[in-house]
Amino acid sequence: MTQIDSCGHPTGHSSMLIDGNWLCYSCTQKELSGLRKFVSEFEAWLEPDAEPHVRYQWQAMKRQFLEARESEDDERQKIK
């Protein structure tokens, strides 16, 4: 029996867990594209007028996110 992701598509080796939902590769790319657009718009809004401590907090959050993504990628490579 085929397992189905939260997006309604069959589960595959490239399915990802995003916000508690398993999404297929295609839906994951759509979701990440939207997130990337939001982040770039947020950074464009933040940068000109942000106080240094706000910019520092944003950079720290972004760094933690990227480190978590690298860790997930490493784990995924070990499984393959």
**Taking the complete model, does pTM exceed 0.75, yes or no?**
no
Confidence bin at 16 (pLDDT 50/70/90): confident
Task: Write the DSSP assignment of 5-72 as a string of letters.
Answer: -TTSSBP-TT-EEETTEEE-HHHHHHHHHHHHHHHHHHHHHHHHH--HHHHHHHHHHHHHHHHHHHHH
In tens, the pLDDT along 28-41 reads 888 888 888 888 88
